[in-house]
Structure 1
Amino acid sequence: MASLRRIAVATSSAIIRLTSFVFLRWIPGHHFVPLVVTSLLVYLSSIFSLLKDTQPHQSQTTKARGSNRHKSGPSRAKAGDSVVNTLLTGLPSARWPLWTRITILINVALAVLTLDFLTRGVLLHSTTDVTFSRVGYVSPTTANLVFREPDSARLPVTVMFQEVSEMSQDWHEEGIVYKLDNTTDFTTTVTLTDLTPATHYRYALSNNKSGTFTTAPSPETPEAKRLSFVTSSCLKPNFPYNILSHPLRVPGLEQMTDALAKLPKLLRPAFMLFLGDFIYIDVPWRFGSSMEHYRSEYRRIYSSPSWNHRPEGNRAIDLPWLHTLDDHEIQNDWSQGNKTAPYPAAADPFIHYHVRANPPIPQAPFAHPDNVTYFAFAQGPASFFMLDTRTYRTEPSHQNSTIIGHPQLQSLLTYISTPEPAGVHWKIISSSVPFTKNWHVGTTDTWGGFLDERRTVFEAMWRAERDLGIRIVMLSGDRHEFGATRFPDPELNLGPDQLLPNTAGLGLHEFSVGPLSMFYLPVRTYHQRDSEDVMVKYAPNGNSKFGLIDIADEVEDIGSTAAAPVRARSSVLTYSLYVDGEVVWKYRLSVPLDRDTSLHGPSLPPGRVVEDDIPDLSWSVVLGTVVGRLPELTKRFVEMVNDLFFQLADRLRKIERLD
């Protein structure tokens, strides 16, 4: 019978190896670090105790080795004293002392790697002296520029810009920043003005920071008929963990930069719509909740060498970034409003690093402008409403629960119902969390926990598509998976065959994508339950995922009359899903521009898949689906047992005449 110490050694060794692998390569959860460290302490104390006990036995064995060699070997083998056993279980071997040392070193090394991933970036990169500059919202005539300069010796900072053109080499001075201090973490936002639409510019600061950007086209110009942009969510440096990598390197950011650099100039994105979890304050470990802790996480992300992975003009830092807020910039599954700690501390760097450079707030915010963190703008053929689903939300799944708050809801409904000017054919609404309730893990943290409010918003969207002839698309993140979902208008009265999973078709469409660089879930947590949320496509795999949205005028088939196809000028949106730097799926939606050609069918044509390289079925998909549905199946089983118990109690009451 195995001793308790041997059981402790084998068990703690297994925990170290399993949890460190999961932590470093799969999910960097905060529960794993204490497990690894505690298991290592148990393992070392137990194995050294065993080694001390085996030393006298080992000397006696050595004396008797000559006379009992043949007998000893087989008996040891039967006892499991082998190199393989030692390496697999972590148990000591009296016969193989070298391999005993190696297996101890393996477990110690795994614990050291775990602590390295947890602490190297924090200990070696305090980033208090980091300087950077980036571009935020860019309009036809302005561009918001954020920079940080903590060194007073480099002040004042002069901000200049020039048109990138052989015809003009003149530099224009926008202004001079004389003072930066800790009240804004040494950051400021400068707006470059009097710019020319659809023009490529370079900016330069006197502290040696520079970059490029392109202004948006003027409305109703030929250039305004086309728009490309990218969207994603969730960043975590050096994950999956690589000991040889810079601790602040973001692999997914580099993969995206490489992929975008291969695109033709016509498809180069105008901006990144980043939908939350730019930092992970509580993953893998929360080191504090003060304002300085939150600020330091933003500085670490902006210190990543991945921003400058390519030459100027193709760098990720040269792409204008627009930001929404999600939970890991505050606290996991945050729903305590904007007054409860740690929200005020978390909001400070979000405002200085992101909000100041974001687009303007809606024209009708229904709240004081200083308290608004949702945004609206138009560019080319689309207008945008960037929701804040964290700051104003209440606890989910209660009567009158709200995910966006009453003022933001009224502002959103006003935006949805307002006709767009000529040339704008798309309303794009971004949310940090998905609208669909098809995700069955953490559903209440999404719009699935606020279904009454979701219904109000959907009814306004369906009405706008019918009455305004405009198409509404929803973009979201958060889930570390990709899911495309459509929400058919009940007035369409679609048949059952049009509501099956994995079908393109009619309805509002949502594309939820992430992470840009983080873990993904190997278990399948997304599936269709009813005909309200119809699954179009689900793609969980990949540590780096982003969507490229391209909108352009084309001639499209929008339906048919008799045998003749109906062709019409259309504004066509193509959504391209990138996984680990490669396009794996494309989907198209369109808005007919000649309204009279679509009188005999739905005003908006169905969506259609134009490319699909994602395998639908494999053993890993099947296994992942089964594991992913365990929580739901367990809940159903408990409910079934509960119902049977009360049915039995009711029958017993009647039989025994207890009433």
Structure 2
Amino acid sequence: MKLDTDNGQPGPTKTSSASDKSKESTLRTLWTGLPSSKTPLATCLTVLLNILLSLLTLDFLIRGVFLYPGTDVAFSRIGYVSPTTANLLVREPDPAQLPIGIFYQESAQTDPTKWVQEGTIYTTDNSTDFTVPITLKGLKPSTSYMYSLSNNKTGTFVTAPLPGSKEARSLSFLTSSCIKPNFPYNPLSHPLRIWGIEHVSSFIRKLPQTLRPAFMLFLGDFIYIDVPHRFGSSISHYRSEYRRVYSSPSWSIPNDNPAIDLPWIHTLDDHEIANDWSKGNTTAPYPAAVDPYIHYHVSVNPPIPAAPFASRENTTYFSFTHGPASFFMLDTRTYRSEPAQANSTILGSAQLQSLLEFLARPEPAEVRWKIVASSVPFTKNWRVGTTDTWGGFQNERRTVFKTMWRAERELGVRIVMLSGDRHEFGAIRYPDPTLDFTPDDFLPNTAGEGLHEFSVGPLSMFYLPIRSYRQTDNEDVTVKYIPDGNNKFGFIDISPADEIIDSVTSSGKSATVTIPSSVLTYSLYVDGDIVWKYRLSVPLPESGTRPTASTTKHPRVPPGKVLKDEVVSEGWDVTFKAAIGRLEEVGRDVSDWVYELLEKTRTVESLD
């Protein structure tokens, strides 16, 4: 106690102490990482923690790259499957395994002498990174097969149905995008483990045989050459990334119904080349990047369109029909120009003409769906990085949409767009402006009429913690936005069913009618669990009638319906993340404006 020097009474006592200062110093050292001579123990802990974090970062960067180059990986996988053929990709770098005999037989066949030999692989070499595409021929439609190679690689597949058959009325398949091994990072995990592929295998194993997916439609970013670090841009660097993905132990987990047994069909996106690639197909590093894409994916992809409007050897977009759906798989990277210009193109002239021809083409009676697959979203509702999507090519998008709306009105089909890229899920509809709508039809987060897009990703990668998606007009109407989840994929089932729709009688009274329809159900799976389900339908022609323009035309198709929704989109965290997204959006706009101003200044100075 301290005495007051004037009157001898007790004076004020100081509350701070040496222990309090020591605690503050310790916390400061632990929080900032700055060393302090006053807190040697805390300083040692921070040094050790920083060393540990540095080692973990180094482990994430280089363990997979240097310990698993994949040069010795041998595998086989099925690509596109038609009613009578199946494309098989084989990689075998070991010359001791050559020649490789290729055999197949029906899965129901138990006689070991009934194997059919398709052919023999005598040589493999580095010109194709030791890959060889094989086509199995003379198969039966809608039949399960096994194949076996003399190097002990085996697998199974099911052929597509014969057009016009009963089996051709149904189809199930998967769709997703974006793969990065060992992400989210786990130091105890195999550096090439891919959790999303394991979720797919687990999902397939639980399905009844009648709902087994016919294929995986994978919409780009199969590799991430530039994430977290680009080690090079040579052909060998790009090839090694493909080999590492195919070296992942996740392809064979579990042993029954592994994901590698599912036919995989691929499109190309930016991270197979470089982030936000828009410099064409001759500028480096595109020629190096496309080499393994051609060998590992294009070589066993579906056929190119019958009318590609370009030389076939330079065409990397595809088209095929499977059961009730006809598909067009776009290449939105190879032929695009710089976005946000008056004459910007995301498809290039030849691909655009081929797509428009596909959309305007009448389909057989059993084909009720035209599905357009794009690596990047059609919607402009993603407000950050919009110009990398179709939002940067709105004139061309408008041309495509006009043809789509007309096809829905006149051809008796329904058009669905599938996309990836954004590490989030978005369901969007695009109402036909020629039809009459009320203001309620354009409200966000509503089911309804219009072209529909389902954009999903990643299969195995990070999701965005901020909210960069926002509806801004009546053109792109939000049905559902689900950003969270490191592992997402969509399961699409198309089957015939009776659809109950609202109608109006001749007397003006409302009523419901039952119409035989082809029904598409989209189910979204996040981290292995179903969280959202949506239903679309298109009326079928009356039984016994030959489809004509008058029997198939329907000026309005039934609106979509939400069947399941387990995602809560309200709460303070949603508002906070949306606000952060708006700040990033503004920051990007300012940054773009500054760069544009600097570019204009540089151009003026160069002219002077």
TM over 0.5: yes
Q: Is the 8 A contact 1:518 1:544 kept in 2?
A: yes
**Structure 1 counterpart of 2:582, which letter?**
R
Of 521, 525, 531, the match for 1:584: 531
What is the CA distance between 1:80 and its match in structure 2?
A: 4.6
What is the CA distance between 1:560 and its match in structure 2?
A: 2.1
Structure 2 residue 52 is the aligned partner of structure 1 residue 109? yes
Q: Is the 8 A contact 1:592 1:598 kept in 2?
A: no
- The aligned residue for residue 643 of structure 1 is none
C-alpha separation in 2, matches of 1:639 and 1:191: 49
**Helix, strand or coil for the counterpart of 2:434?**
helix
Instruction: State the Cα deviation string for residues 73-120 of structure 1 (Å, max 9, x = none).
Output: 933532555544443332445465344322211111011101110100
Structure 2 residue 470 is the aligned partner of structure 1 residue 517? no
Of 473, 493, 514, the match for 2:416: 473
- The aligned residue for residue 575 of structure 2 is 622
- The aligned residue for residue 393 of structure 2 is 450
Distance 1:95 1:535, change over 3 A: same
C-alpha separation in 2, matches of 1:526 and 1:213: 39
Structure 2: segments with no counterpart, 5+ residues = 1-13, 594-608
- The aligned residue for residue 19 of structure 1 is none
Instruction: State the Cα deviation string for residues 204-246 of structure 1 (Å, max 9, x = none).
Output: 1111111111111111111111100000000000000000000
Of 568, 575, 582, the match for 2:515: 568
**Structure 2 counterpart of 1:510, which letter?**
E
C-alpha separation in 2, matches of 1:402 and 1:163: 46
Structure 2 residue 378 is the aligned partner of structure 1 residue 431? no
Distance 1:336 1:491, change over 3 A: same
Which deviates further from its counterpart, 611-620 or 402-411?
Answer: 611-620
C-alpha separation in 1, matches of 2:99 and 2:588: 62
What is the CA distance between 1:619 and its match in structure 2?
A: 2.1
Q: Is the 8 A contact 1:481 1:520 kept in 2?
A: yes
What is the CA distance between 1:620 and its match in structure 2?
A: 1.8
TM-score using structure 1 length: 0.83
C-alpha separation in 1, matches of 2:29 and 2:578: 35
**Structure 1 counterpart of 2:511, which letter?**
A
What is the CA distance between 1:253 and its match in structure 2?
A: 1.2
**Structure 2 counterpart of 1:575, which letter?**
Y
**Structure 2 counterpart of 1:532, which letter?**
E
- The aligned residue for residue 193 of structure 1 is 137
1:33-112 equivalence runs, <5 A? 74-75=17-18, 77-78=20-21, 80=23, 83-92=26-35, 94=37, 96-112=39-55
**Structure 2 counterpart of 1:606, which letter?**
P
- The aligned residue for residue 207 of structure 1 is 151
- The aligned residue for residue 131 of structure 1 is 74
Instruction: State the Cα deviation string for residues 106-164 of structure 1 (Å, max 9, x = none).
Output: 11101110111010001111111111110000011100000111111111111111111
Structure 2 residue 218 is the aligned partner of structure 1 residue 274? yes
Q: Is the 8 A contact 1:259 1:582 kept in 2?
A: no
Of 274, 286, 289, the match for 1:331: 274
1:638-649 equivalence runs, <5 A? none
Which deviates further from its counterpart, 357-366 or 597-606?
Answer: 597-606
Q: Is the 8 A contact 1:558 1:598 kept in 2?
A: no
- The aligned residue for residue 7 of structure 2 is none
Structure 2 residue 347 is the aligned partner of structure 1 residue 400? no
Q: Is the 8 A contact 2:499 2:517 kept in 1?
A: yes
- The aligned residue for residue 241 of structure 2 is 297
Which deviates further from its counterpart, 584-593 or 249-258?
Answer: 249-258
Q: Is the 8 A contact 1:393 1:403 kept in 2?
A: yes
Which deviates further from its counterpart, 523-532 or 93-102?
Answer: 93-102
Instruction: State the Cα deviation string for residues 487-526 of structure 1 (Å, max 9, x = none).
Output: 0000112111110100110100000000000011011111
Greater share of residues in helix: 1
- The aligned residue for residue 384 of structure 1 is 327
- The aligned residue for residue 5 of structure 1 is none
Q: Is the 8 A contact 2:408 2:555 kept in 1?
A: no
C-alpha separation in 2, matches of 1:180 and 1:632: 50
**Helix, strand or coil for the counterpart of 1:543?**
coil
Of 544, 553, 558, the match for 1:605: 558
C-alpha separation in 2, matches of 1:341 and 1:275: 23
**Structure 1 counterpart of 2:487, which letter?**
S
**Structure 2 counterpart of 1:624, which letter?**
K
C-alpha separation in 1, matches of 2:155 and 2:497: 33
- The aligned residue for residue 309 of structure 1 is 253
**Helix, strand or coil for the counterpart of 1:362?**
coil
Distance 1:599 1:371, change over 3 A: closer
C-alpha separation in 2, matches of 1:422 and 1:635: 48
Instruction: State the Cα deviation string for residues 224-277 of structure 1 (Å, max 9, x = none).
Output: 111000000000000000000000000111122212221222221100000000
Q: Is the 8 A contact 2:157 2:261 kept in 1?
A: yes
1:523-538 equivalence runs, <5 A? 523-538=466-481
Distance 1:173 1:115, change over 3 A: same
**Helix, strand or coil for the counterpart of 1:489?**
coil
Structure 2 residue 232 is the aligned partner of structure 1 residue 288? yes
- The aligned residue for residue 171 of structure 1 is 115
Which deviates further from its counterpart, 82-91 or 291-300?
Answer: 82-91
Distance 1:432 1:599, change over 3 A: closer
- The aligned residue for residue 605 of structure 2 is none
C-alpha separation in 2, matches of 1:119 and 1:567: 60
C-alpha separation in 2, matches of 1:288 and 1:413: 38
Cα root mean square deviation, aligned:
2.2
- The aligned residue for residue 651 of structure 1 is none
Of 292, 296, 301, the match for 1:358: 301
C-alpha separation in 2, matches of 1:210 and 1:496: 56
Structure 2 residue 406 is the aligned partner of structure 1 residue 463? yes
TM-score using structure 2 length: 0.90
Q: Is the 8 A contact 2:239 2:292 kept in 1?
A: yes
C-alpha separation in 1, matches of 2:325 and 2:519: 11
Distance 1:104 1:511, change over 3 A: same
C-alpha separation in 2, matches of 1:600 and 1:219: 21
1:540-555 equivalence runs, <5 A? 540-555=483-498
Q: Is the 8 A contact 1:568 1:594 kept in 2?
A: no
Distance 1:635 1:284, change over 3 A: closer
Q: Percent identity?
A: 64
**Helix, strand or coil for the counterpart of 1:344?**
helix
Which deviates further from its counterpart, 614-623 or 345-354?
Answer: 614-623
Structure 1: segments with no counterpart, 5+ residues = 1-70, 641-659
Which deviates further from its counterpart, 615-624 or 399-408?
Answer: 615-624
Q: Is the 8 A contact 2:502 2:511 kept in 1?
A: no
C-alpha separation in 2, matches of 1:623 and 1:453: 35
Of 249, 255, 258, the match for 2:193: 249
C-alpha separation in 2, matches of 1:327 and 1:166: 44
Of 432, 451, 456, the match for 1:508: 451
Q: Is the 8 A contact 1:81 1:93 kept in 2?
A: no
C-alpha separation in 1, matches of 2:277 and 2:534: 33
